[in-house]
Amino acid sequence: MAKVIPEPHKWWQRRIPLVEEKRCKTFLHGLSGEYKDEGGLTANPYIGCAHRCCYCYATYEWVPEFYDKIVVKQNAPQVLEAQLRMWKGKYIEPVFLASATDSYQPQEGRSRITRKCVEVLQKYNVPYYIFTKSGTILRDLELHAAYKDKCMLFWSISTIDDSLKKIIEPNVTPTRSLLKVINKFSERGVQTAVNIIPIIPGLTDDRIKLDALIKESAEAGARYFTAGVLRLRGDIWSRMKMLLESIGRYDAARLMQAFYYSKPITEQGYYYAPKSYREEIIQFVETKVKEHGARFGIPISDSPDLDSPQCSDFVLHPKEKFEEASLLSFVQ
Ligand code: SF4
């Protein structure tokens, strides 16, 4: 029987997602799952994400609806405000927007839920940090710039190669456009960082392109960098394998199969690339980041001394508190 090759891109180039509005009972949560030990707080304005990254592991297993239906937590700003008003703790951790979706995905352009939540966080003097792959955040430049000492913005960028990016993350803002956005925030004094993730063996790990990404990001004003190598789960691998074969990248599919499954390194249901590979590539990134005058790692906070629930003295990124991230913290 002839081998059935899936139509190129078919499974992730489906329709514009349905949008559903929902009311939530609570909004601010302690970080759970893999982030649990970090002990911070998170809030997700949306369920689902239209970016359609092929490696997405925001769900615990493959849920196609995650791409196809975006649930808008319509009353999130009001619930957040109620939670902050009733906050009983001695201090409050920075809030991570958002751990299980991209809070600046396309729907934010219409719903503005993230913006309204940020306004509430600012009203209560709560520090926050945002990871996004989107340029939509630019419309909130003034908002974040006015709060620059208590927020930090991260852009997760997998590659500078926009033709490849269009395949693996079809609805994500092109990298060169993101660099212009980073530049605008950096010029306004907002702390900006680039998270080079995921580095995909055989696909996005070309050293020349990685170096170019770091160089251009640093030139755009990104001061901090982090990085991580792709980890796989069974459902993620089957999606990625289908994708790679559909674009004729059998070489990358074979390499990844060998890397992740010939001598499996597993933890909590995920498969990891060989440690020597992870160490080598992260070391490469760290070296290049320093060569381009930026810092590898993220600033740390000093929140335990705070004595007010509003964190009025909180500085999310005091220079003197910066800790160089150890290589091991990025090599799981
Ligand atoms: S941006 Fe994040 S949450 Fe959205 S599809 Fe990509 S990996 Fe998943």
The token duo for 202 is: 């055989």
β-strand pairing of 151-157 with 128-132: parallel
- List, in order, residues 6 or more apart from 143 with CB less than 8 Å away: 115, 118, 119, 122
Cα 71 to middle of ligand 1, angstroms = 14
Could you state, in order of their start, the residue ranges of all structural domains in the chain?
10-325
Mean pLDDT of the chain: 85
- What is this structure's pTM? 0.88
pLDDT digits (tens, 9 = 90+) for 67-85: 989 999 999 999 999 999 9
**Average pLDDT of the residues in 250-257:** 95
**CA-to-CA dists, residue 34 to 27, 39, 269, 306, 330, angstroms:** 19, 11, 11, 26, 13
Of 95 and 328, the structure prediction assigns the larger pLDDT to 95
> What is the DSSP secondary structure assignment for residue 173, as one 8-state letter?
P
Cα 86 to middle of ligand 1, angstroms = 32
Note the CATH number of domain 10-325.
Answer: 3.20.20.70
Pocket test for ligand 1, best of 51, 52, 97, 243 (most atoms within 8 A of CB): 51
**Torsion of the alpha carbons at 244, 247, 250 and 251, rounded to the nearest 10:** -90
Cα 321 to middle of ligand 1, angstroms = 30
pLDDT above 50 (res 111): yes
pLDDT above 70 (res 326): no
What is the structure's pLDDT at 323? 37
Highest mean pLDDT among 132-141, 226-235, 262-271: 132-141
Ligand 1 site, CB within 6 A: 49, 51-53, 56, 58, 101-102, 133
Cα 312 to middle of ligand 1, angstroms = 32
